[in-house]
Amino acid sequence: MKAKPLQGITVLDLSRLLPGPLCTLHLADLGADVIKVEEPGIGDYSRAIPPLTKHISTFFLTVNRNKKSITLDMRKQAGREVLLKMIETADVVVESFRPGVLKKLGLAYAEMEKINPGIILCSITGYGQTGPYKSKAGHDLNYQGYAGILRPPPSGGKPIIPNFQIGDIVGGTQNAAMAILAAIISKNTTGKGQHLDISMLDGLVSQNVVALAQKDSMETMGMDTADMLNGLLHCYNVYETQDGKFVALGALEFKFWEKFCNAIDREDLVSKHMVMGEAAAEVSAEVEAVFKSKTRDEWIVALDDADCCISPVNTIQEALEDPQILHRELVQTGQHPEEGDVTYFKLPITSEGLASAGERQAPLLGQHTEEVLLGLGYDIAGIAELKSSGVV
């Protein structure tokens, strides 16, 4: 029998932009009832990030499916009271303000805990709730810089900015989702909630385990810590092809390198799997010349049966059209009532026991305000008063 694991769990999402909303999207896809609490008139800043589908950001539509939206001015006493009413029956609150903001609003974890001892507050910040950097402004690029992840290639030059928000998503989204799920399990046995302090910098540093393991040996060899898998090795590298495109060779283990060398008729290179220095540069030049003899797609076909860890370096459009991605049905298209077609990714978990959370497109700003307030016990007159005073 299929199930929605988080059915019956209510999540209040006070976060904006990427790490928090992507986290609550995963929770919503697992069956949680996610209510997005947004500032009246403005909402989540990402609603306006270009490109727009029609009037709403395509990005916003992608990461805010299966959620409800209520507008609420938490700076006003009446707005604070509404949120506290919501917290009384909620299970999780996700926020991404700088440390101290909730306390200034009278909404610190201690206040939440008084009215709901089981509440789980997940605070996602760049540097955490403590430490000398706790109040610093920052973005994904900064967290990567501090963590030693933003790196130049071994050949030198500027550090390369990844086209993937590693700090936001790995350090923030995924760590937050993992912590929330663990806290829910803990609450089931203890009856108590907790305050989860999720630092995106912490997440990057603590998961950079390969660089940590290589640190001493690589420094002894006069190389920087993370270069081993950052373009230093000729067997684990990216090569340009005849048509100016690229292939990724991941023959890190000897067995894969041997298969690769045999497949390109260069058995003389088999013994040079892990050579360093000038010998490595010579092998790299030989491999570069080989790959320049065919186009990218010709190489993918030619090495298809070699089992040597070879792949094309795809554009995002090519990735979306890749046969494996299509087979896994990761890319979905939904119909938003106001914005039209919306392309998004489904939850990347496949299980016969997991039921779909359904398809509810991203909400309009404040679309569910009245519904939520009625559920809290407010009558029509009370809701009208909140509207007239700008609380909602």
Tokens read off for 92: 């999780």
- Topology agreement, domain 10-206+327-388 and domain 227-240+246-312: no
Q: Are 46 and 373 in contact (CB under 8 A)?
A: no
Q: How confident is the model at residue 225 (pLDDT cuts 50, 70, 90)?
A: very low
Residue-level pLDDT at 217: 60
Residue-level pLDDT at 211: 82
Residue-level pLDDT at 335: 94
Residue-level pLDDT at 331: 94
The answer to which of 42-56, 200-214, 299-313, 368-382 has the lowest mean pLDDT is: 200-214
Residue-level pLDDT at 63: 97
Tokens read off for 282: 């010579």
Can you give the residue ranges of every domain in the chain? 10-206+327-388, 227-240+246-312
Residue-level pLDDT at 214: 74
Q: Are 66 and 357 in contact (CB under 8 A)?
A: yes
Instruction: Please compute the mean of the pLDDT values over residues 190-209 and round it to a whole number.
Output: 96
pLDDT for 109 beyond 80: yes
pLDDT for 369 beyond 50: yes
Percent of the chain exceeding pLDDT 90 equals 84
User: 298-346: per-residue pLDDT in tens?
Assistant: 999 999 999 999 999 999 999 999 999 999 999 999 999 999 999 999 9
Beta-bridge partner residues of 361: none
> In CATH, what class is 10-206+327-388?
alpha beta
Q: How confident is the model at residue 218 (pLDDT cuts 50, 70, 90)?
A: low
Q: Are 99 and 134 in contact (CB under 8 A)?
A: yes
Residue-level pLDDT at 288: 97
Kindly give the pairing relationship between strand 10-13 and strand 33-38. Answer: parallel
227-240+246-312, superfamily in CATH?
formyl-coa transferase, domain 3 (3.30.1540.10)
Residue-level pLDDT at 286: 97
The answer to which of 201-205, 215-219, 229-233, 250-254 has the lowest mean pLDDT is: 215-219
Tell me the pLDDT of the chain averaged across its residues.
93
Give the burial string for 274-313 (b: 16+ CB within 10 Å, else e): ebeeeebeebbeebeebbeebbbeebeeebeebebbbebe
Instruction: Please compute the mean of the pLDDT values over residues 95-104 and round it to a whole number.
Output: 97
Residue-level pLDDT at 152: 80
Give the burial string for 39-77 (b: 16+ CB within 10 Å, else e): bbeebbebbeeeeebeebbbbbbbbbbbbbbbbbbbebe
User: 133-179: per-residue pLDDT in tens?
Assistant: 999 999 999 999 999 888 887 777 889 899 899 999 999 999 999 99
